[in-house]
Amino acid sequence: MKEWRDILAVWSGLCAYCGATGASVDHMIPIARGGTHDKDNVVPACNSSKRDVLPLDFILAWRRAA
């Protein structure tokens, strides 16, 4: 729990992908793709639609849709 609070503090409680307010846990490398549930692979995110997509692919798709 303390690690999650520390991670939120690093990101100022904002989504790591778009900067919006959001505090849901997201695995940068999805568990489904071999990612781990450790502090080096977890960031806050506002959008759970990323699912098993890698961060760069998600950001590029998000920007295209905007």
pLDDT in tens, 10-26: 999 998 888 888 778 98
* pTM (2 d.p.): 0.75
Q: What is the CATH number of the domain that holds 33?
A: 1.10.30.50
| Structural domain span for residue 19 | 2-65
Number of domains in the chain: 1
Distance CA 33, CA 9 (A): 27
The SS3 assignment for 41 reads helix
Distance CA 10, CA 37 (A): 17
CA 24 from chain center: how many Å? 8
Cβ atoms of residues 15 and 21 within 8 Å: yes
Distance CA 14, CA 52 (A): 21
More confident residue, 59 or 36: 36
